[in-house]
Structure 1
Amino acid sequence: MTAAPAAAPVLPPLDFTLSPFTGLTRDHWCGYADHLLRSAHRHATADHANLYLPGATSAYGRKSDSLEAFARTFLLASFRIAGDPEGTGRLAAWYAQGLDAGTNPANPDRWPTPGELDQAKVEAASLAVGLALTRGVLWDKLPQRVQEQLVAWFETVIGQPYPPINWVWFQIVVEMFLASVGGRSSAADIDAGLAIHDSLYRGHGWFADGPERAYDHYVGWAFQVYPQLLQLMAPTDPRVQARAAVDRERLADFLDDAIHLVGADGAPLIQGRSLIYRFAAAAPFWAGQLAGHTRLTPGATRRAASGILKYFLDRGAINDDGLLSIGFHGEFPGMKQSYSGAGSPYWAAKGMMGLALPAGHPVWTAVEEPLPVESGDFQRLIGAPGWQVDGTAADGIVRVRNHGTDHANPGVRVADSPLYARLGYSTATFPDLVPESLDNAVVFADEAGRLTHRTGFSFLGHFEQDGVQVGGCRFTAHWIDVDPDGGPDHGSGAAGTATPGPDVTVASLTRGAVELRVVRVRHAGRCSARLRIGGWPVDASSALAGSVRPVPWGGELPDAGTWHRAAPHPVGEHLSIPWIGTPGAVADGDYAAVVVLSGEGGGAGSAGTTPMADGHFAFPDGTTIDVAAALARLVSE
């Protein structure tokens, strides 16, 4: 079918009195939500059941993708309807027609059921949540025949297997909805799913997305959002009531950390899989206000959420046809994963959950307040993922030095996942998507130029000492001959045959934009390889400055260069990564480099030019640390 051209969004003037940082108000959020919905509806079938959006097809096929587009846009529509039931009647009627056609067994274009297609298990959850939030407006007004169709469609989830990751929530919310409307449900399914959820809890609000060290945005937009939605969907259920207090505390703890992972330009931390969901990163902030379980003020919450939305709007997330493409800023097909279809990016709808709150809610009426990175430089250690976080107010960048996350477990020998296993991530740089890379790396290059990996490392812990954050890991560097039949990319590094290299300890001593990276090499004689210490991946057209410089402490690192790739990547056209290293085979010993990422106004470019004195390293602001003492404490702890 050929869709008519997209109409422009209907928006009021920016309001910098109510929203001094972003200018966005609830009316702007409504305008963008309505624009996304109108644009997607142009690609719907006549019965509204399927949205055949232009673009990529997932491994599940077009029928799955069209259901996905319906379900995820319906989730967005449900937030609009819940927050403004009087003004969204036409929207409710549009989706009511699609819900009927999609579940009508006599319709040849009906949706596959969750019992027939795994991806339908995911989309069923969005449908269930949306119907629960709009129950009085939509569900209660559906004809009995349509309600029975929907119940029968949902009931195919009962007894189905779900992987022990965030997917367990898709079964939980569907069966909870079924129970609330008189359908069949399985207490065993619900209890098992909740038990898996609790087993993945790693402390202070953080969950791992499965049994591996998989920390990413799913912590917020799945593990923290669904428990709060459950309290709205089934407030009288004894299981929900019994866990309400702990779920509230976990969300509040997580948000205390999450607010520190948003840059001054609104960028969320660019790390982890499914980044094509873009402003879904705002979801946990809204969840805190929706359920009232947050220590963040309403003004700080809206600043974070509106900042995240504006970051993507300003960078082409919505294309000229009013659609969300696969990509990060604009379209970038290289970010497609096996489960990604044209409807997938619409899980960004989760980031618009705040629209379920009425216009008079304090989160919409309070004046925006600054983010932590706008209030001053800060340091923060986040235990579960093993992150040491430094935010700098001068350039508004938040940096994470990572010694605890790799989407694997200790001792596993696979390739590094670009989105999990790098030594550093930030709100300003996009990781190099090639597994063998100099991006924030300590690697070894063999005679053929192949680079090692560190996945499977042991996290040594982290701490603060004399105003400096210290963290580290230990691993056996290894080359991987990748198995071409290793399966789909769901976040983990590629499997294959591992060849061991040296044993390595890496420590990051950080303050602000500056990292002193110390590398201890042992058993270098296993191979003949050159050491490479790589810096931050920076687009050549950006205002960012990245550098790596040797520090006269231990072995010499006289070789240096800048790696370039002149080709499009998710946030630019020309990627560059600085590096230093040994000109020949590395020897056992200690090596050190100062690694810097600074933005416009960052002022850290001269860091590390002063040699260390008496074993103490001096940061640009004059803070000093005894390097040997810090390393001894790290290794002993």
Structure 2
Amino acid sequence: MDGWSRRDWTGFADRILGAVRPYASPGHARITPPGRPGGYGRAVDGLEGFARTFLLAGFRIAGERGAGLDELADWYATGIATGTDAASPERWVRLDEHGQAKVEAASIALILDLTRPWIWDRLDPGVQERVVEYLSPAVGDSTYPHTNWLWFRLVVQTFLRSVGGPWSAREMAEDLAEHDSFRRSGGWLSDGPTRAYDHYGGWALHLYPALWARMSGAADLAAARRDADVRALDAFLRDAVTLVGADGSPLIQGRSLTYRFAAAAPFWVGALAGVPSVAPGQLRHAAARVVGHFIRHGAPDDRGLLTVGWHASWPRLAQSYSGPASPYWASKGLLGIALPADHPVWTAPPEPLPVETGDVLRAVAAPGWLIAGTRADGIVRVVNHGTDHADEGRTLADSPLYARLGYSTATSPLLDDGGWAAPVDQSVVLVDDAGATTHRTGMRTLTVRVDGAPDDVASAPDDVASAPDDGLLGEGGGLPEKGGSDAALGVAGSTTMAHWVTIEPGQRDYGEGRAGRCRPAARLTVFSLVRGAHEVRLVRVGEPAGGLDPATVRLRVGGWPVTGGLTSRVVSLIGEGTEGTTVHEDGGPLGAPVRVPWLDYPVRPATWVAALVELSGVDGPSRSGACRATLDGAGEWLDVRVEWPDGVRTRTRLDVRDG
């Protein structure tokens, strides 16, 4: 898609819109693609199909200012008239009947505003009245979840305000204030008050402010906020462009992954907002790489449909709220077609992604991530010491979508039943004699930084200096023994009271970890030293809790879950590690089988072990040299010397007082 013109993009949008029409109801109000019914029933599925494809139709109409698209506008106008008719068998589920209608109502309101001259203004006055009546339950409703959902109430009320409908100044102010409470350092936004960092930050929490500010009913409210929102978006995008693999794959992390190329949305939003730090040509290229990745891997399918899955259909990727039309939130990834042909995002020459021009090593304080991309294989990895979709001290089971120690653009976390109940991939756990494994959710971040590197390798200083807790970085600095960016070293660490969880059955899957009866095991402290495809992982087990006999448990260090020709290995550097491999026949959406290498160590409290963890695109064992590590120190500080497989030597001082 890198060579696609804007006309190619609009043609792709037309293909998607045309492919769903055979699955529309006679009055166009419901679009229900084939597939397993969603968890909320067929009526909600049909509403989703209308609203989410209406997003794409609206971008298409707005980008051409309606020219030549009367049939498309009329087709959806018919659906609006039918869906708001209470007497129609196709009527839409109301906002006060089911919560999911609140989500879809926001898309309808947003596009009615965006396409006002070509749809809303041409609706019969009676239909306009019915639309207002349909949307009005958003006013006075205090049951919207305290997440990105605040924008669904805010967008609907903003539209109602612009057409003379009911609205609440107090509620709109509350929603804006709640959005501001989600702001974190470096322009990042959490999806709610917990440590929920995922694609929602880009395709929802940065997208809606930019689109809302341009709505007819938002001008006076948005004026004072616009600059701050653009600054935050600009800072976030400096990180976001480093999270796209050279093959265009987004990071496979977080819930709602079936929305696929919605992950391209923040790049178009950056172009719409005119961010200063990321060039329009790079924004378009990033979006093109993401969308192109899925096209090359069969999404949409041969029918032109988006199924529940990542590349091909993989129904297990669904959360409880996912239905057959849910994937059409991918429409957000085509927002760029709403921008005219003479916009800089279409006229600027393409500029490559960071991982296409060199290795990337970046510390991002808000989610507690080290980003490591390697130009040789195009893979972007994230080492995670701060994200778990929970609060510090919470004792849930780990969500494989959030709480793993690592995510990448080439691997998926294990998402079978074992992936939710018994972490092994990218994990450090204690395993008892019955085979039960502990969880890390509720951990505390100790440090996230890059040592020995210029600002073009590490995050800009403000990305970490403005973190909520200035003590996050600790006092231990890295002392590279070989200078220059080759010696740049990512350092991150966290500590947790590892705990076993007996998961309560029957819980709905919204992406976060599952609750159950908890039993503490021991404190686990983990540090990651990262260079390119390699991580040296340091682990210490504290005193066992509740009289647990250390002889009855093993310490397990799990590596990357891989399919195909990727290399994933875990090599013991310090300690008596015994190698093993777990094979999962249907563990993730990237194919089967999925292999996870791991090491088991005897538990010796207060003693450090170390392992080399590698993920690379090289077929077979690493062709580079051996890795060696030595540890020095006791008590408050740990001095770590590493000779890496490429021969570079680093020395790092770690503050281990809190571990």
TM class by smaller structure: over 0.9
Offset at residue 340 of structure 1 (A): 0.5
What secondary structure does 2:246 align onto?
coil
Match of 1:113 in 2: 94
User: Match of 1:140?
Assistant: 121
Q: Which residue of 1 aligns with 2:521?
A: 501
- Is residue 92 of structure 1 aligned with residue 73 of structure 2? yes
Q: Once the 2 structures are TM-superposed, how far is the Cα of residue 567 of structure 1 from its aligned partner?
A: 2.9
CA displacement at 1:586 relative to structure 2: 4.7
CA deviation vs aligned residue, 1:158-212 (integer Å, no higher than 9, x gap): 1112111000000000110111122111112211111111111112211111111
Matched, 1:441 2:427: yes
Contact 2:392 2:444 in 1 (8 A): yes
Once the two structures are superposed, residues 559-579 of structure 1 have per-residue CA deviations (whole angstroms, 9 ceiling, x without a partner) of 101111123630111100111
Q: Which moved more, 1:120-129 or 1:176-185?
A: 176-185
Aligned partner of residue 271 in structure 1, secondary structure: coil
Report SS of the residue matched to 1:526: coil
Secondary structure at 1:120 match in 2: helix
Q: Does 1:534 align with 2:558?
A: yes
Distance 2:99 2:631 in 1: 60
CA contact (8 A) 1:399 1:426 kept: yes
What is residue 37 of structure 1 aligned with on the other side? 17
* Deviation string, structure 1 residues 523-542 (Cα, Å, up to 9, x no partner): 14624201111100001x2x
CA distance in 2, matches of 1:635, 1:429: 34
Q: Distance in 1 between matches of 2:152 and 2:620?
A: 43
Report which stretch shifted further, 168-177 or 520-529. Answer: 520-529
| CA distance in structure 2 between the aligned counterparts of 1:322 and 1:590, rounded to whole angstroms | 53
One of 334, 338, 347 as aligned partner of 1:356:
338
Q: Say whether residues 1:219 and 2:201 are aligned partners.
A: yes
Aligned to 1:460: 446
User: Runs of 5+ in structure 1 lacking a partner?
Assistant: 1-13, 15-21
Task: Output the CA distance in 1 between the equivalents of 2:426 and 2:631.
Answer: 26
Question: Aligned runs of 1:506-521 on 2, under 5 Å?
Answer: 506-521=526-541
**Deviation (angstroms), 1:235:** 7.2
- Asked if 1:492 corresponds to 2:522, the answer is no
Name whichever of 563-572 and 229-238 sits farther off: 229-238
1:236/1:612 CA distance change after superposition, 3 Å: closer
Tell which deviates more after alignment, 560-569 or 415-424: 560-569
Separation in structure 2 between the aligned mates of residue 613 and residue 248 of structure 1, nearest angstrom? 45
For 2:587 and 2:557, locate their aligned partners in 1 and report how far apart those are by CA, in whole Å. 24
Alignment of 1:484-633 (within 5 A): 484-485=505-506, 487-524=507-544, 526-527=548-549, 528-539=552-563, 541=564, 543-552=565-574, 555-557=575-577, 559-567=578-586, 569-582=588-601, 584-600=602-618, 605-606=623-624, 608-610=626-628, 612=630, 616-627=641-652, 629=653, 631-632=654-655
Letter in 1 for 2:561: P
What is the CA-CA distance between 1:294 and the residue it aligns to? 4.5
User: Counterpart of 1:6?
Assistant: none
Structure 1 equivalent of residue 494 of structure 2: 473
- Could you tell me which residue of structure 2 aligns to residue 374 of structure 1? 356
Q: Which digits, 9 at most, give the CA deviation of each residue in 1:346-396, with x for residues without a partner?
A: 000011100101122221122211100011112111111000111111111
- Residue from 283, 293, 297 that aligns with 2:275: 293
1:438 is matched by which residue type in structure 2?
A: V
Q: Partners of 2:190 and 2:587 in 1: how far apart?
A: 32
Deviates more, 1:489-498 or 1:563-572: 563-572
Q: Retained in 2: the 8 A contact 1:594–1:607?
A: no
- Residue in structure 2 matched with residue 262 of structure 1 by the alignment: 244
RMSD: 1.8
**Is the 2:398–2:423 contact (alpha carbons within 8 Å) kept by the matching residues of 1?**
no
Residue 236 of structure 1 and its aligned partner are, at CA, apart by 6.0
* Letter in structure 1 aligned against 2:345: V
Letter in structure 2 aligned against 1:473 = S
Describe the SS at the equivalent of 1:520: strand
Distance of 2:121 and 2:349 partners within structure 1: 37
Moved more, 592-601 or 510-519: 592-601
Q: Does the 8 A contact of 2:28 with 2:75 survive in 1?
A: yes
- Larger displacement relative to structure 2 (99-108 or 290-299): 290-299
Deviations 1:286-343 (A, max 9, x none): 0111122352111101110000001111112212221100001110011111100011
Say which SS state the counterpart of residue 461 (structure 1) adopts. Answer: strand
- Give 1:209's match in structure 2, choosing from 180, 191, 195: 191
- Once residues 244 and 218 of structure 2 are traced to their aligned partners in structure 1, the CA distance between those partners, rounded to angstroms, is 35
Work out whether 1:398 is the aligned partner of 2:380: yes
In 1: Cα distance, 2:532 partner to 2:257 partner? 25
Residue 408 (structure 2) aligns with? 426
Structure 1 CA distance for aligned equivalents of residues 164 and 413 of structure 2: 48
Match of 2:150 in 1: 168
Cα offset, 1:625, TM superposition: 2.3
1:8-36 per-position Cα deviation (integer Å, ceiling 9, x unaligned): xxxxxx7xxxxxxx332222221221111
Contact 2:32–2:46 (Cα < 8 Å) also in 1:
yes
Quote the offset at 1:611 in angstroms. Answer: 5.6
Alpha-carbon distance in structure 2 between the residues aligned to 1:491 and 1:606: 38
Change (3 A) 1:609 1:625: closer
Could you tell me which residue of structure 1 aligns to residue 478 of structure 2?
Answer: none
Q: Distance in 2 between matches of 1:357 and 1:244?
A: 19
- Match of residue 273, structure 1, among 250, 255, 258: 255
Contact 1:101 1:107 in 2 (8 A): yes
What is the identity, as a one-letter code, of the residue corresponding to 1:451?
A: T
Q: What is the identity, as a one-letter code, of the residue corresponding to 1:50?
A: R
Q: Give me the whole-angstrom Cα distance separating, in 1, the residues matched to 2:345 and 2:101.
A: 33
1:605 and 1:619 map into 2 onto residues whose CA distance is 13
Ranges in structure 2 where 5+ consecutive residues have no aligned partner? 453-487, 633-639
Count residues in correspondence: 607
Aligned match of 2:35 in 23, 42, 55? 55
1:101 aligns with 2:122: no
| Cα pair distance change 1:303/1:545, threshold 3 Å | same
- Return the TM-score normalized by structure 2: 0.89
Q: CA deviation at 1:544?
A: 1.2
CA deviations over 1:137-170 (Å, ceiling 9, x no partner): 1111112111111111111211112111000000
The aligned runs of 1:404-419 (5 Å cut-off) are 404-419=386-401
The CA deviation at 1:604 is: 5.1
CA distance in 2 between counterparts of 1:567 and 1:214 reads 26
Q: Is the Cα contact below 8 Å between 1:530 and 1:586 reproduced in 2?
A: no
* Distance across 2 between alignment mates of 1:491 and 1:323: 24
Provide, for residues 478-515 of structure 1, a one-character-per-residue CA deviation record: whole Å limited to 9, x for no partner: 11111114x31212211111111121110000011110
TM-score by length of 1: 0.92
Q: Shift in Å at residue 635 of structure 1?
A: 4.5
Could you say which residue in structure 2 is the equivalent of 1:18? none
1:23 aligned residue:
3
Q: 1:222 to 1:125 in 2, by over 3 A?
A: same
